[in-house]
Amino acid sequence: MRIGELAARTGVSIRSLRYYEEQGLLTSTRSAGGQRHYTDYEVERVAFIQRMYAGGLSSRTILETLPCVDSPSDENSDAAIERMAQERDRLSAHIEELQHTRDALDALMAAAQAYRDARQANGSATAASVV
* Owning domain of residue 4: 1-72
Q: pLDDT at residue 121 above 80?
A: yes
Q: What is the pLDDT of residues 47-64, one digit of tens each?
A: 999 999 999 999 999 998
Q: Answer yes or no: do 7 and 65 share one domain.
A: yes
Q: pLDDT at residue 126 above 60?
A: no
DSSP letter for 45, please.
H
Q: How many domains, the chain?
A: 2
Q: Answer yes or no: do 94 and 131 share one domain.
A: yes
**pLDDT band per the 50, 70, 90 thresholds, residue 74:** low
100 to each of 55, 59, 97, 108, how far by Cα in Å?
18, 29, 5, 12
Q: pLDDT at residue 76 above 60?
A: yes
Q: Answer yes or no: do 85 and 110 share one domain.
A: yes
Q: What is the mean pLDDT of the chain?
A: 89
Last residue of a domain, one of 56, 72, 88: 72
Q: Which CATH number does the domain housing residue 34 bear?
A: 1.10.1660.10
